[in-house]
Amino acid sequence: MSLNEGDQAPDFKMAASGGREVSLAALRGKPFVLYFYPKADTPGCTKEACGFQEALGGGDITVIGVSRDPMKAIEKFAEKYRLTFPLASDESGKVSEAYGTWVEKSMYGRKYLGMERATFLIDGAGRVARVWRNV
């Protein structure tokens, strides 16, 4: 499934770093950024997370990072880089599948399933306001 601007954002509820829980229901009423990244503590994902921290950390907009890593790896990543926004664990893959970010990829001629780096801006009504894919 591919989400487009104007679509209703799929519902979610996930465990997140710092003992938090994040859900679409709890975030309604305010816009937020939901970004999907392939793997905690890898160069590209670290650069992306630190970029969000620098640009939006502590600001008026909530940022939530999502990967399929186990919570232990996510906690370690968040602590190592002192990320103040929640990083959520989608180990089951249900959220990444609902947002269309679990896709077929190819590397060195080998095809496999993996996380597409994508960012969604969700408005206060729970609709997708903007989508950036393969960022």
Euclidean distance between CA atoms 123 and 109, whole angstroms? 39
User: How do residues 46-58 score in pLDDT, each as one tens digit?
Assistant: 889 988 888 886 6
The predicted structure's pLDDT at residue 58: 67
The predicted structure's pLDDT at residue 41: 87
Domains of the chain and CATH, by start: 13-133 (3.40.30.10)
50 is catalytic: no
Active-site entry in 45, 78, 88, 122: 45
User: How do residues 86-110 score in pLDDT, each as one tens digit?
Assistant: 999 999 999 999 999 998 888 898 9
DSSP state of 18: G
Residue by residue, DSSP assigns 36-53 as E-S-TTSHHHHHHHHHHH
What pTM did the predictor assign?
0.92
The predicted structure's pLDDT at residue 78: 96
